Structure 1
Amino acid sequence: MAVLMYANESVGVTNWCESLGRVIQTEGCMLFYCTAGWAVVLTNRQKMVFRKGDLLILTSDVYLFVSSVSACFSVHYVSLSEEIVKTAYYKVPSMFLWDYLHNVPILRLSSEQQILLSDWLRQTRWILGHIAGFNRATMLNNNVYNLFVAIDVELSDSADQMPAERKDQAWAITCRFWSLLTKYSARERAVKFYADALHITPDYLNKVCRRAYGVSPKALIDQQLLVEMKVFLSDTHLSVTEIAERLNFKDVSYMCRFFRRMTGVSPLEFRNGR
């Protein structure tokens, strides 16, 4: 499972052929606007269809796995660094917006919204192609901030039509749990750690995870850790011993047993494509 990282502050068009079977991740934020065809993707263990007219917003706490794409699939993308998007993160105070985008990164746009987004993409493309230095950063910050404010307004206006499970406390907890997993899974394995960080009991976190995903929080922690291991094995030349140290396993043999239990193969067999 290799990871595909796009360059910061870049725009372009892709058919995602190079992304098939890979994880797309960003340290900042990426926006994908589908203009033709469809793709099947997995985000936060959810299988979703990304099709023409949809906007996909990928932030640093979400993994995007590309499962399949149609023959005519095409997507416009904008890649932004953490430095550029942090203004929007800090200035848009709506926890509803960030929780929603974490759990539902694909937005189904109306015809009017597609026109507005196309205009925004043209503006962003022009800024990246014609402006440099401090002015470029300022204009990008403002443009990104305006986009997220508009998304927040549109989502708030339609919140009454959202399913109840998208608005309740349990849903917000799962969003924050995924954010914590992305940040701490390499060194924290205990369910109690995450429950304490969420200010809830381990029992309640277990109920929330089973309701949302049908598995325990420990299973989700293990799955996230497995993703980290696969990334190191696929995209680095670190030895198995070095990976075990990076991921805070008590010894190499324990990590190898964990990996084989989760995948059916050893770490080296996975790295060699067996």
Structure 2
Amino acid sequence: MESNIETILQQMMHDHAPIVIGQSDFKESLGYPLPLSYLVILICHKGSALININMQTYTVKIHDVLVLSDDSFALVLKKSRQFEVTYCLIDRSLAADIAFQLPHQLFSFLNDVPRLRLDQDHHVWLSLWLKQCNLINQEAHAYRMLMLKNHLQNFFLKITAHMPTALQRKAQQFSRQEQLCWRFWKLLQHQSKQHRSVSYYAGQLAITPFYLSQICKAVFNDSPKDLIYRQVILEIKVLLSTTNNSIESIASEMNFVDPSYLNRFFKRQTGLSLSQYRKQQGI
């Protein structure tokens, strides 16, 4: 059983793997901050542990789920001899694909509540979900990543559906900076096909591009330019993988001056040409 998460992350980055699933007892991580990928899901299936997450201490036991990000602080303080988790280490690109259609209040909820304690009725569901996740990950065909993305989206939608009402309300009580960031995010979801400049979105929010950059860094830990480009790439991926539209048609829909510019933009962001991505998706 693998236990050195740092080594696994290094191998993940070396292989450019979008997701790594495995098991760990955190034996080598005890007393040290956990190295984390862009998005991390930990599911405890044996024993228990005491883990400090963002300066708050949580008891983690069987069937508990932790959802962390690369800017989280997680320190294993104590653990039982039998403690064991299944981990899903997810890179930025796949995490963005997963989050594409998820409700924004979920992310605020998970920031406030990183440890999810499922009731007994959901223990069987969690075990079956994890078993299916492992089975999908072991398959070797063109649709594996699409199936994993959908499977992980279902996991987060299940969390959303069972968020306590009081916590949903709390998640919606944003500061002014957070409100502006979520308005920016909603604008992106509706207008990224036509607009790709930071100044445009800053104008829509009646703030300066510099202030938009500041609040995006504070709330999302990303620049608005990166967020815009990521959303544009997601929109292009959807059109490439769910339609038979020509590249010329997609370029027009995404407001690119010509197909070659679209292809250069996509390859610069993903490392793949448009035709390579379509082939990778089995289309």
For residue 141 of structure 1, what is the aligned residue in structure 2?
149
**Pair 1:125-2:130 in alignment:** no
Rounded to whole Å, the distance in 2 between the matches of 1:63 and 1:53 is 21
TM-superposed CA distance for 1:148, in Å, is 1.0
Alignment CA distance shift 1:25-1:102 (3 Å): farther
Rounded to whole Å, the distance in 2 between the matches of 1:198 and 1:154 is 30
Matches within 5 A, 1:176-187: none
The one-letter code of the counterpart of 1:118 is: S
TM-superposed CA distance for 1:85, in Å, is 2.1
The one-letter code of the counterpart of 1:159 is: T
TM-superposed CA distance for 1:165, in Å, is 6.2
Rounded to whole Å, the distance in 1 between the matches of 2:168 and 2:143 is 42
Alignment equivalent of 1:17, drawn from 27, 34, 46:
27
1:76-117 deviation line (CA, Å, top 9, x unaligned):
22222222221121211x222101112221100112222111
1:147-205 deviation line (CA, Å, top 9, x unaligned):
111111111xx223x498666436x96xx9xxxxxxxxxxxxxxxx9999449xxxxx9
Query: What 5-or-longer segments of structure 1 have no aligned partner?
Result: 177-192, 200-204, 206-274
- What is the count of residue pairs matched by the alignment? 176
Rounded to whole Å, the distance in 2 between the matches of 1:71 and 1:46 is 23
Alignment CA distance shift 1:70-1:142 (3 Å): same
Rounded to whole Å, the distance in 2 between the matches of 1:99 and 1:56 is 14
For residue 90 of structure 2, what is the aligned residue in structure 1?
80
Q: Please, what is the CA RMSD of the aligned residues?
A: 3.2
Query: Quick check: 2:48–2:79 contact (8 Å CA) kept in 1?
Result: yes
Alignment equivalent of 1:26, drawn from 30, 36, 39:
36
TM-score normalised by structure 1 residue count: 0.56
TM-superposed CA distance for 1:18, in Å, is 1.2
TM-score normalised by structure 2 residue count: 0.54
Query: Quick check: 1:3–1:22 contact (8 Å CA) kept in 2?
Result: no
Query: Quick check: 1:25–1:58 contact (8 Å CA) kept in 2?
Result: no
Matches within 5 A, 1:76-225: 76-92=86-102, 94-132=103-141, 134-155=142-163, 158-160=164-166, 162=167, 168-169=173-174, 197-198=214-215
Secondary structure class of the residue paired with 2:81: coil
TM-superposed CA distance for 1:46, in Å, is 1.4
Query: Quick check: 2:105–2:168 contact (8 Å CA) kept in 1?
Result: no
Matches within 5 A, 1:231-250: none
Query: Quick check: 2:34–2:73 contact (8 Å CA) kept in 1?
Result: yes
Alignment equivalent of 1:59, drawn from 69, 72, 76:
69
